[in-house]
Structure 1
Amino acid sequence: MEDIDIIRAYRERRHATCFQILYDRYSTKVYSKAVTMLRKQSEAEDATQEIFTKIFLNLGKFQGQSKFSTWVYSITYNLCIDKIRREKKVRDLFNTEMEDPPDTVEEVPDEALLNLQLNELKYVLSKLTDTERMMLLMKYKDGVKIKAIASLLDKSESAVKMQLKRIKEKAKRIHEHRFASTPS
């Protein structure tokens, strides 16, 4: 059954089995995203429960204007960001400033990020802000479209594209600074 069919069945019968099917389909993905964002298993477990409580309470309001998975992702992302804000892990989530921005920089191709070694990638991601890291992971790991990212962050698509461009440039600078070949 498709998600929308399960949601319709839930609305008609309010049967817990319908919600259990959705929970089984999405709980691992929600938990995984929560661990990635919150960085602690215990916090991710709590967040997963909160997220599914929100989904359960608002399932009747889901209109199907987007895919159910996008709606779940949005709830997950927003709840985790709220938790991060409350814990003051991020100073300024949406107004990220670059350190020493270059005057002119070439566009960094997506392949440059995708070809990094795993340990190098982990290092580069650890040096980015939470927002920068989340935007890169949404775009390149989760495959979230620019339009959806813009909607989640309440920004224009062009602003998201520009911010991603700057984040890729920053990631490239971090990588080059840390892993540049030293002459023998």
Structure 2
Amino acid sequence: MARVTAVSSNGTYSFSKPNRPSVMLLAGLGVEGDVHAGETIKHQFRMTYEPDLPNLRQVHLIHEELFDELAAKGFAVAAGALGENITTRGVDLLGLPTGALLHLGEEAVVEVTGLRNPCAKINGFQQGLLQEVFELDATTGEFVFKSGIMGVVRHGGNVRPGDVIEVELPVGPHRPLERV
């Protein structure tokens, strides 16, 4: 069964986000009190040249299985360390199509907008980690980004560790996730 394993937020810009007992998702904004919440772009770099574009990165989700994969390669990464708001287990986040709805807990709904584009700051957290969160697909020659997905809040609600995640796929044809 797919579950939330941790929730994290930070009111100031920093690479990692501390874990919380719960977070409140606000429709059209993101995580209450989080620096990335808002209707328009809040990504520090992108605000300098695209400040008025819609914020498609209100909520960052990472699958905890990535941490297991990284641990097998000698990296110690815990929930919130890569700046995500919601850490999950048991759902193939990277395999979801654009527009999938994630029902989190009793009320919250996040619409998946795309893939997180990992940045060089990951190497500042742990040297060599950046090359582990993306890989080259041998079949297609395309990069596969593994550092989570982004979404927007469609229905607000409180989200806690242990909450069940239900996936609602959009009507087909499905569009694969792209970087946002």
The bucket for the TM-score relative to the shorter chain is under 0.3
What is the TM-score with the length of structure 2 in the denominator?
0.27
What is the TM-score with the length of structure 1 in the denominator?
0.27
Q: Which has the larger radius of gyration?
A: 1
Higher strand share: 2
Higher helix share: 1
